[in-house]
Amino acid sequence: MIEAAVIGIVTGAIYGLIALGLVLVYKGTRVINFAQAEIGGAGLYLAYICTSHGLPWIAAAVITIAGAAILGIVFERLIVRPMGDAPRLTVAVATVGLFFALFSLEFYFFGQSPEFVAPPITGRGIEVAGFFIGPMVLLSFVVIAALAAALTAFLRYTDFGLGVLAAAQDATAVRLIGIPLGRLNMFTWGIAGALSAVAALLIEPQIGTVSPGAIGEPLFLGGLAAALLGGLTSLEGAFLGGILVGVAQSEAQHLLLATGFPGISAVVLFVIVLLVLLVRPQGLLGTLRARAEIGGAVT
Partner 1 sequence: MSTELAVSSPLDGEVPGGAGRRGRGGLLTPRRSNILLVLAACLLAPTVIGGSVGQATGLAMTQLFHPASALLLSEAAAIAIAALALNLLTGYAGQISLGHAGLLGAGAFAAGLVTGRLGLPFWVGVPAGAAATGVISLGIGLPALRLRGLYLAMVTIAFGYLMYSSVLRLDFFTGGSAGVILPRTLWGKHQLIENADWLSVPLICLLIAWLIDQNVMRSRLGRALRAIRENEAVAQAFGIDVARYKLLAFVISGAMTGAAGALYGSAIGFVNSETFPFTLSLSLVIMIVVGGLGSRSGAAISAILFFLFAYLLEGLPFPWLKGLDGIVGAVLLMYTVARHPGGFASVISELREGRRPKRATSDDEEPPMPALPNLPRPEGLGARPAGDGAGPVLEVQGVTVRFGGLVAVDGASLAVPRGKIVGLIGPNGAGKTTLFNAISGLLRPSAGRVVLNGHDVSALPAHRRAQLGIARTFQQIGLARDQSVLENMLLAQHLLAGYDSGQALLRTPRVARQERELDERARQAIAALGFAGRENVPVNRLSHGQQRILEVGASLLTDPELLMLDEPSAGMSPAAAENLAERLRDLRDVLGRTVLLIEHHVPLVLDVCDYVYVLNFGQILAEGTPDEIMAHPDVIGAYLGESEAVAV
Closer to partner 1 by Cβ: residue 101 or 162: 101
Binding to partner 1, residues 96-115 (CB under 8 A): 96-101, 103-105, 107-108
Cα 230 off chain centre by: 13
Binding test (CB under 8 A) with partner 1, winner from 62, 207, 273, 285: 273
Closer to partner 1 by Cβ: residue 248 or 269: 269
Q: What are the DSSP calls for 225-289, one per residue?
A: HHHHHHTSS-HHHHHHHHHHHHHHHHHHHHHHGGGT-TTHHHHHHHHHHHHHHHH-TTTTT--HH
Binding to partner 1, residues 163-182 (CB under 8 A): none
Closest CA to 219 of 3, 39, 63: 39
Please tell me whether residue 32 binds partner 1 under the rule CB under 8 A: yes
Binding residues with partner 1: total (CB under 8 A): 55
Please tell me whether residue 258 binds partner 1 under the rule CB under 8 A: no
Please tell me whether residue 82 binds partner 1 under the rule CB under 8 A: yes
Please tell me whether residue 281 binds partner 1 under the rule CB under 8 A: yes
Site string for partner 1, 195-234 (x = CB under 8 A): ------------------x---xx--x--xx--x------
Closer to partner 1 by Cβ: residue 40 or 119: 40
Please tell me whether residue 152 binds partner 1 under the rule CB under 8 A: no
What beta strand segments (E) does 89-200 contain?
126-128, 131-133
Residues paired with residue 128 on neighbouring β-strands, in sequence order: 131
Contact 31, 95 (CB under 8 A): yes
Contact 202, 61 (CB under 8 A): no
Q: Judge residue 82's burial from the number of C-beta atoms within 10 Å of its C-beta, 0-12 exposed, 13-18 middle, 19 or more buried.
A: exposed
Binding test (CB under 8 A) with partner 1, winner from 70, 182, 277, 289: 277
Q: With the C-alpha atoms ordered 53, 69, 119, 269, is the resulting torsion angle positive or negative?
A: negative
Closer to partner 1 by Cβ: residue 32 or 65: 32
Binding test (CB under 8 A) with partner 1, winner from 55, 83, 139, 162: 83
Q: How far is the CB of 19 from partner 1 (least distance, A)?
A: 13
CA–CA separation, 204 vs 236, rounded Å? Answer: 24
Instruction: Supply the angle between the helices 135-157 and 235-256 in degrees, to the nearest 10.
Output: 160
Q: Give the interface segment with partner 1, choosing from 61-69, 84-92, 240-248, 249-257 (CB under 8 A).
A: 84-92
What beta strand segments (E) does 143-187 contain?
none
Binding test (CB under 8 A) with partner 1, winner from 3, 4, 5, 30: 30
- The residues that touch partner 1, with contacts defined as CB under 8 A, are 30-32, 34, 79, 82-83, 86-94, 96-101, 103-105, 107-108, 213, 217-218, 221, 224-225, 228, 260-267, 269-270, 273-274, 277-278, 281, 293-296, 298-299
